[in-house]
Amino acid sequence: MGNPPEITDSTTEERRKYVKERFPCIADCDMCGLCKVFHGMDAETAYDDYIQGKRSFLDVSEDYKG
């Protein structure tokens, strides 16, 4: 997967598509673990600030590291 679209050069829908493709829900939480990483949220909810153009992808990602 390539780099996330920059906020200044992309639309809300392009950023939403990137997040959905980067963190696909496979509907098997025991195998995936993404909801645990995102504190019970799906990726689209967790990355809403990025999708809405409020914060960069990297800034939001920092919220969920380690």
Instruction: State pLDDT tens for residues 6-41.
Output: 999 999 999 999 999 999 988 777 777 787 888 888
The 10 Å Cβ neighbour count of residue 35 is: 16
User: Angle at Cα 36 formed by Cα 40 and Cα 32, nearest 5°?
Assistant: 120
d(CA 62, CA 5) in angstroms, rounded, equals 17
Q: What is the pTM of this model?
A: 0.88
Residue 58's identity, in one-letter code, is L
